[in-house]
Amino acid sequence: MGICKDRTVIITGAGGGLGREYAFAFAAEGAAVVVNDIRPEAAQAVCDGIIRAGGRALANADDITRLGTAQRIVDAAHAAFGEIHVLVNNAGICRDRMFTSMTERDWDDVMRVHLRGHFCLSQLLACEWREASKAGQTVDARIINTSSGAGLQGSIGQANYGAAKAGIAALTLMQAAELARYGVRVNALAPAARTSMTEGVFAEMMKKPANGAFDYFDPANIAPLVVWLGSTLSAEVTGQVFEAAGGMIAVAEGWRTGPRVDKGGRWNAAEVGAAVAQLVAQARPAQQVYGS
C-alpha cells in the first residue's frame, strides 16, 4: 500500500531527468501521474513505462506557460483520474551567460518557463482547491515548487536562472501563507542531480562513478523527498525550501532581519557608513556565490 495511493499528481518536465524519476516514484507509491513535457515522445515513453509496471499514467504535451493551455492539462487530468491532489512544478531551462553578455531573449525565456510556468498551473489548481474548500469539501493538496542553489546562494553566469529560482523560493512562502486555510501545503526543493540542464555545465563533477559506488548525483535520489511531500504524511509541513543531493536533505534558512541599529531619527548621509560597518561585522556572512 503506497503512501500516495488514490492521489493524482501532475508533474511538469517529466519526460526526463528529475521529472521522470518523480513520475516513476509517485506511480510506485500508488499515485496516478500526469506526465507533462513539451516533448510528446518523451512524455509518452515515461507514461508507457509506468503502465507497463502496473501503474496509471497519462502523457501530456501542453504548454505550461499560458493559462489557456495549462487549463488543458488540468482538464485532461480530471477526465482521466478525477480529483487532482498534487502539482510538482519541475520544468525548466537554462540560458547561461555572464550578466554583461546576456540577451533580452536569454532573460525572458528563463523567466517565462520558470516563473510563468510555476504560476499558471498553480493558480488554476489553487482556485479549484479554494472553491472546493469553501464548498465544505476536505482538501489535502500539495504544490511542490523547484528552486535551486543558484536562487538561494547565487551562481556565476546564471543571473537569469538564479533570479527566477529566487523568485520561486519567495513565491513558495507566499503561496504557503495564503493557501494553508484551504488545505493546501506548499514547499519547494533545490535539488542537485544529473539532468540535461546540469550535464553540460557540471559534466565532470556529476559523471556516474565507474566502480559501482553510490551514485551521488543520480536524479532518483531526490524522488523520495518529493513523493513524501506530495503524500498525506506531509500535512504539517509547509512554506519550507529543502536542499537535496545524494542522501542529504537540508532545510534552507531564508532571509530574515538580522542585526540592527536604530538612531531614533533621520540619519545624516555621512553617519551611515559607520553604522553599516557595524551591522556587516555583526551579521552572519552569506554563503559564497557558486563559482566566485
Q: What was the pLDDT predicted at 201?
A: 54
- β-partners of residue 190 are 243
Residue 134 domain-assigned?
yes
Q: What was the pLDDT predicted at 68?
A: 97
Using CB atoms within 10 Å of the CB of residue 237, give its burial: 0 to 12 exposed, 13 to 18 middle, 19+ buried.
Answer: middle
Residue 273 domain-assigned?
no
Which stretches in the chain have pLDDT values below 70?
A: 195-207, 209
| CATH assignment of the domain containing 74 | 3.40.50.720
Residue 196 domain-assigned?
yes
Q: What was the pLDDT predicted at 197?
A: 57
Q: What was the pLDDT predicted at 147?
A: 95
Residue 85 domain-assigned?
yes
Q: Decide: pTM greater than 0.75.
A: yes
3-state secondary structure 120-170: HHHHHHHHHHHHHHHCCCCCCEEEEEECCHHHHCCECCEHHHHHHHHHHHH
Q: What was the pLDDT predicted at 228?
A: 97
End-to-end CA separation in angstroms for the chain: 47
Residue 55 domain-assigned?
yes
Residue 172 domain-assigned?
yes
Number of domains forming the structure of the chain? 1
Residue 228 domain-assigned?
yes
Residue 1 domain-assigned?
no
Give the span between the Cα atoms of 105 and 113, in whole angstroms: 12
Q: What was the pLDDT predicted at 256?
A: 86
Q: What was the pLDDT predicted at 229?
A: 97
- β-partners of residue 60 are 36
Where in the sequence is the domain holding 214, given as residue range(s)? 8-251
- Active site positions, annotated: 148, 161, 165
